Chains A and B, each alone.
Chain A
């Protein structure tokens, strides 16, 4: 099978699972429609007052905005707000055979300072995904959103929404408590996810995308510019990965897996080397952790490729990737569409070490998201609308 994919060309029949497509709402009334009349009245309706006023915005948005050049790339970064649009921009171009919907900036709305509103947003966004998106295209799977500020409610939501077979993972959304995600306060969420056989997903930006988040984008506070925030997006992922390991999440829930994405890939080897070395001196602090942090990482954590690291040359990139033995075991292809720095599979496969492509493009994702197993790409192609 060779598919024309815009300027890129598919070179083989390697199935592609895109582990991170960021779907969103055009208008928050799409979400509030799933809320109770009381919440709808409380939030109001955009446009009720002059100049678009009249509603409390449920997605405040990041303090950091990408400084696009006027007119350049506007189409590529336009929000994906309906399944037909996604079909045109992703499937029709052969950029993926399956996609996991993972929310755009709107998914971080659960960090809003009112935890009850955050809970309502999560419930409504899940209902919206289940009704608007999944029935529209059999190639779509989705993450569910959870209100992490009320972990017991989040657990209940996982046990409820997680019954839907095409919900394949739990997106932790924005960081509303300001604790790194390994903190014991979140463990009820992981208990429920493990029980339902769902991995958790952490996306970089959960500190930046809602200004209410009490956690910072960079160590020592927030940076001054968008570029700094984007450069440092791997930092919160490092913190979350470290805390998931050291706070014993994977010891308590041995079947749980986590996907971390949005910070690229090359942050992993230096962090794991440091963790292993500190573990040798300080394992007494965390007696419940019985294996080297790097072994736990290899077993339980997967890393989305987006945005793939850009080295001066492919040879240097290959060299940097190879210092982590069998890095192909932990990477899952993710495009990040429709972000300005989204990736395409051909760009990635050109640079990946030989033999690593099948695992990264789909093998690891089907292992991570067991609910996608047994779904034949070609079979789904034949029934695609």
Chain B
């Protein structure tokens, strides 16, 4: 199992024991969480595990909690050159107490830096996780951690305010990310459990199947809000990565936006360009879970209706989750001409890193030296 060299934009990592993170918390919150069994560090959900069963470690340690297992089960055999670690999945900041949420996410970021980013493996990169319900505090967290060479993105997951992430309430976050020069990432799933947020339009998802199938709805709303509220206009260098909602929805959605540009402009001053231009220039989508469609042909033909689609797609596996994609399978389902961009170079350019060929050349020079 080798497959193409990968820049994997969505790998989930976790702690072995809650104490690993808890000891970063101030005494007050540590005592408070220790008094609960188990400590409430996660949003409540009733969906069971979402991990591959073979990713649990010896003694039942959580999936994604062992670097050794990540390396031997995934990074080495699948030719992963860059692995963006994205927490599990980072909804923690959606806890109802905003002060606890803020403290917990800070502790998680410290744990991530000390436990994972200190590992001597240049493939590992990661994100600054935010508790989004207090945008001013969240902006402070961005500024606190920015500058760490392995932290390449600001990740937004939980959404307890119930507004899409382009809404002006989040302006402090947009401003801070733009100021420190980091892109924003949005990973699906944060709207599901963070009350009072409704996870879909028209009601609530009634089971996990509904919830997963319909996660394109919140992501489309996020994307739309960035355009309508002018986030890309106010912050001309800010970029956005949309993580884990598949791809097939994009062409028709972009057409709907472009067809409505006239109406959009009557209601907001911010839509200066054709909406799909913002998407092409500023937005990237991770591939997983890539729709199979009835056949390879159906899927590719649909994607091709979005001009320049090969420039906006970035590979993600979602390891170690149960519905992770396999890069060898994905490679067989998209045109060869897209491979270099999709599997590595688009993400590298997005995160300000050299393309694969250059990275390989650099590695040879280092080896010769």
Q: Please give the residue numbers on chain A whose beta carbons come within 8 Å of chain B beta carbons, in ascending order.
A: 66-67, 69, 175, 178-183, 206-207, 215-221, 223-228, 230-232, 234-240, 242-243, 246-247, 264, 266-267, 269-271, 273-275, 277-279, 281-283, 285-286, 309-312, 316, 319-320, 322-323, 325
Distance between Cα atoms of A67 and B256 in the complex (Å) = 17
**Which residues of chain A are near B304, meaning CB under 8 Å?**
319
- Spot the interface stretch: B3-11, B19-27, B113-121, B286-294: B286-294
B224 touches A231 (CB 8 A): yes
Contacts A270-B302, A309-B252, A325-B298 supplied; 14 other A-B pairs, CB < 8 Å: A179-B204, A207-B202, A215-B203, A219-B201, A226-B263, A228-B224, A231-B224, A231-B253, A235-B221, A240-B203, A243-B203, A282-B209, A286-B207, A323-B298
**Does any Cβ of A come within 8 Å of B200's Cβ?**
yes
Is there an interface contact between B263 and A230, defined as CB atoms closer than 8 Å?
yes
CB atoms of B305 and A220 under 8 A apart: no
B217 touches A227 (CB 8 A): no
**CB neighbours of B167 from chain A (8 A):** 224
Among B159, B197, B206, the residue within 8 A (CB) of A183 is: B206
List chain B residues, Cβ under 8 A from A323: 293, 298-299, 301-302
Partner of A219, one of B221, B264, B267, B298: B221
* Tally of contacts, chain A with chain B, CB under 8 A: 227
User: B residues bordering A, Cβ < 8 Å?
Assistant: 159, 162-164, 167, 191, 197-210, 212-214, 216-218, 220-222, 224-225, 228-229, 246, 248-249, 251-253, 255-260, 263-264, 266-268, 289, 291-294, 298-299, 301-302, 304-305, 307, 322-323
Given A206-B202, A232-B224, A239-B214, A270 contacting B249 (CB threshold 8 A): yes
Contacts of B293 on A, CB cut-off 8 Å? 269, 273, 323
Question: How many Å lie between the Cα of A114 and that of B201 in the bound state?
Answer: 22
Other-chain residue from B199, B229, B248 in contact with A270 (beta carbon distance below 8 A): B248
Question: Per a CB cutoff under 8 Å, which of A66, A223, A237 touches B263?
Answer: A66
Please tell me if the beta carbons of A232 and B201 are within 8 angstroms of each other in the complex.
Answer: yes
Complex Cα distance A275/B202, Å?
17
| A271 proximity list for chain B (CB < 8 A) | 213, 216
Cα(A226)–Cα(B305), bound, Å: 27
How distant is B161 from chain A, measured CB to nearest CB, in Å? 8
Docked pose: A242 CA to B213 CA in angstroms = 8
Residues of A within 8 A of B214 (CB): 219, 238-239, 242
Task: Tell me, rounded to whole Å, the shortest Cβ–Cβ distance linking A282 to chain B.
Answer: 4
Q: Do B228 and A227 touch across chains, with their CB atoms under 8 A apart?
A: yes
A270 partner residues in chain B, CB cutoff 8 A: 216, 246, 248-249, 252, 291, 302
CB distance from A70 to the nearest CB of B (A): 11
* A267 closest partner in B (C-beta): B252
- CB proximity of A187 to chain B, nearest CB, Å: 13
